[in-house]
Amino acid sequence: MTTSHQQPATCPRAAINRANSQHSTGPRTPAGKQRSSLNALRHGLTAASATLPTEDPAAYQHHCRQFFHEYKPATPTETQLTRELADTAWRLNRIPVLEAELFSQSPDPQSLIPQLATLGLHYQRLSRQFQRTVDMLREVQSERGERERRDLKDAAALLELHKHRGIPWAPADHGFVFSKSHVEAHAQRLMGLNESRHLEHVLFHMQPSANNQPPATSNQPLAISSR
């Protein structure tokens, strides 16, 4: 008894590709083609670069300068946060433009629901990112400002102490980065504020004396308050 071995049918790759192409030719109707083009809309909302090739670089730079002018970053961390804030705002401002572009391309608003929903999610994400960055930047700047105020008050107190002792003094002697003129101006401001507070207390808060004469005030400069 003889047995015959049938050779397995072979199907070249080109034939497979031709067969598959019969089942995947892309959208054929005008409505389908419209949806396909909308799906391919390049929004750039998650791209590494904040700007799209179609956007004006000069407008973007002006946009960034506005944020730097507002927040005036003084450290690398503040600069990084300010840049992130500007980029996030730039992306947020792009979303209404993208929505308008979608409506201009489609005669059927119902077909835009998936794309508009996607843009809505991006808007929510970017809005949260913007607020987090604002909060972080304000916190960092508030901490820096408080440190500078403490250091400047300490420097002013040391300046007046050395003046009282007749000893020359420079801010760098105690590690301060302020100029001496800056420290001197701050010391004068603090002494003026202390004197005005003392005068306010005498004029408006002290009980009148028995002879109804206001208490005498001293013309001598007051010491810098430690408060």
| Residue 225, pLDDT score | 54
| Residue 101, pLDDT score | 87
| Residue 135, pLDDT score | 98
Q: Give the separation between CA 221 and CA 193, rounded to whole angstroms.
A: 11
Distances (CA, A) of 18 to 33, 112, 187: 22, 33, 86
Distances (CA, A) of 209 to 201, 204, 213: 14, 13, 6
| Residue 212, pLDDT score | 59
| Residue 126, pLDDT score | 96
| Residue 199, pLDDT score | 83
Q: How far apart are the first and last CA of the chain?
A: 113
Contacts 24+ apart (CB under 8 A), 31-40: 31/108, 31/111, 34/105, 34/106, 34/108, 34/111, 35/111, 37/105, 38/102, 38/105, 38/106, 38/111, 38/112, 38/115, 39/114, 39/115
Q: Give the separation between CA 163 and CA 157, rounded to whole angstroms.
A: 10
Instruction: Give the pLDDT of the chain (227 residues) as one tens digit per residue.
Output: 444 444 444 445 555 445 444 444 445 555 454 444 444 447 788 888 889 888 999 999 999 999 999 999 999 999 999 999 999 999 999 999 999 888 888 778 788 888 899 999 999 999 999 999 999 999 999 999 999 999 899 988 998 999 889 999 899 988 888 898 998 898 898 888 888 888 888 888 877 666 655 555 555 554 555 44
| Residue 1, pLDDT score | 47
| Residue 209, pLDDT score | 65
